[in-house]
Amino acid sequence: MKRMLPLLIPGVILIAIGLVWTLQGLNVLGGSVMSGSSLWATIGPIVLVIGIVLVVIAVILRRRRGAS
């Protein structure tokens, strides 16, 4: 569990941030300087994918540790 948390917590945070940035870039979430900007519509999914990768790695490490 200790090896999993350093990847899981940042992964979940990056997923949330990436999702918000994507939605702002696509002008789904308004009220920000980032709203409607193609830059954030590009950066958001990249951050989202990095977060997903971290969570998947954390889950794989958890399963390996549980199996041994």
For the chain, the residue count is 68
Average pLDDT value over all residues in the chain: 91
Give the CA-trace dihedral at 23, 29, 31, 34, to 10 degrees: 10
pTM over 0.85: yes
- What residue type is assigned to position 48 of the chain? L
Cβ atoms of 59 and 52 within 8 Å: the answer is no
Domain count, the chain: 1
**pLDDT digits 0-9 by tens, 52-68:** 999 999 999 888 877 65
Domain extent at residue 15: 5-67
